[in-house]
């Protein structure tokens, strides 16, 4: 097992690591189980520098992917970046559980897996596409108006609690449908509530297949909570990310998807009502439309009328849609 903690300690940089693990190789949590409920529900603390209040809808116009991992996640992160093109038009923020007293070699290690610029995040830094930002050891991270702000632990409690949840929640609030969260190998439940927040804002939530994770606690927790859209091997994630971006955020595609939008949205509402007896006609149409577009992106469907056909033929998708409508 090669972990983020070991990346902070080893002085030699590994080469390309394989993400393949034998099925059923997950390990028990050496720490004695998942965090307690009060800890899981903790809010993100304020950053070390005073960040201005977030402006409504101040998105950057490109996706920001938060990647959260702990024990056993380093090979998975390496594998993801080895399959991600450098000109992807996406920004990545890697949030880990790390030792606050040990310098990290993670930026150096990841720079060997991608041609994107990899660096430690700094307070007051505006995020740019085609870059990878890594949380410094012992720090948490939040984003406000597309700007990163560090959160440092206290002397009597140097470790930041639930740093993945904290960043994912701030990412969801700040970037809304441009937010993407990925939970990789690790113990406990950090990242579960953060992925739920991203889904609630019509973002995309991914988890590493627990069968391929060295420690399956974190991805399994998120999946069990219903906070995940897709469960994938890390080598499959780049293709789905690129497809999701091209389907969901190209203006021309969105306009084509919305052709005859009023009539087709009514057909969606009718299909859901017919199959579930649930009436969503009083809900805000803009919210309903955004959640429909999110489901279309997941299925790589371009036109709304095609999605209506899917609903009429697939009751499982109807159930998934109305559950999405109830989020938040």
Domain ranges of the chain: 4-12+41-46+53-234, 250-326
pLDDT at 25 over 60: no
CATH code reported for the domain at 4-12+41-46+53-234: 3.40.50.180
Instruction: Please give the model's pTM, rounded to 2 decimal places.
Output: 0.74
| Calpha distance 153→134 (Å, rounded) | 17
Nearest Cα to 120, choosing from 137, 134, 109?
134
% residues pLDDT > 90 (the chain): 47
188 vs 21, higher pLDDT? 188
Q: Sort strands 179-183 and 64-69 into parallel, antiparallel or unpaired.
A: parallel
What pLDDT, on a 0 to 100 scale, did the predictor assign at position 320?
85
Confidence of residue 21 (pLDDT cuts 50, 70, 90): very low
113 vs 252, higher pLDDT? 113
pLDDT at 186 over 80: yes
What is the Rg, in whole angstroms, of the alpha carbon atoms belonging to the chain? 20
pLDDT average, residue stretch 175-199: 95
> Would you say the C-alpha torsion 76, 229, 196, 92 has a positive or negative sign?
positive
| Calpha distance 69→328 (Å, rounded) | 25
Alpha helices (runs of H) in 212-284, residue ranges in sequence order: 217-224, 237-249, 251-257, 261-276
What pLDDT, on a 0 to 100 scale, did the predictor assign at position 74?
96
What pLDDT, on a 0 to 100 scale, did the predictor assign at position 39?
35
């Amino acid at each position: 097992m090669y972990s983020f903690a070991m990346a902070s300690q080893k002085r030699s940089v590994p080469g390309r690591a394989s993400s393949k693990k034998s099925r059923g190789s997950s390990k028990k949590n050496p720490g004695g189980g998942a965090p307690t409920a009060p800890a899981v529900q903790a809010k993100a603390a304020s950053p070390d520098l005073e960040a201005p209040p977030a402006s409504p809808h101040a998105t950057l116009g490109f996706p920001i992917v938060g990647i959260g991992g702990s024990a056993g996640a380093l090979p998975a992160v390496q594998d993801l970046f080895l399959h991600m093109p450098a000109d992807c038009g996406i920004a990545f923020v890697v949030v880990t559980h790390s030792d606050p007293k040990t310098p990290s070699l993670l930026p150096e290690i990841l720079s060997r897996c991608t041609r994107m610029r990899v660096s430690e995040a700094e307070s007051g830094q505006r995020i740019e596409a085609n870059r990878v930002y890594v949380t410094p050891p012992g720090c948490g991270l939040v984003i406000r108006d597309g700007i990163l702000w560090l959160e440092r632990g206290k002397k009597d409690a140097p470790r930041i609690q639930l740093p993945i949840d904290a960043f994912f929640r701030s990412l969801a609030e700040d970037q809304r449908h441009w937010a993407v969260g990925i939970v990789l190998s690790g113990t406990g439940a950090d990242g579960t509530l953060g992925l739920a927040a991203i889904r609630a804002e019509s973002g995309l939530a991914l988890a590493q297949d627990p069968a391929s994770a060295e420690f399956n606690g974190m991805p399994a927790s998120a999946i069990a909570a219903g906070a995940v859209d897709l469960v994938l091997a890390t080598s499959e994630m780049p293709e789905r990310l690129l497809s999701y971006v091209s389907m969901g955020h190209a203006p021309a595609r969105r306009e084509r998807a919305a052709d005859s939008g009023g009539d087709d949205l009514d057909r969606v509402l009718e299909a859901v009502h017919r199959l579930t007896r649930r009436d969503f006609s009083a809900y805000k149409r803009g919210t309903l439309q955004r959640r429909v577009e999110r489901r279309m992106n997941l299925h790589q469907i371009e036109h709304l009328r095609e999605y209506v056909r899917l609903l009429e033929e697939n009751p499982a998708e109807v159930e998934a849609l109305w559950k999405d409508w109830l989020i938040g």
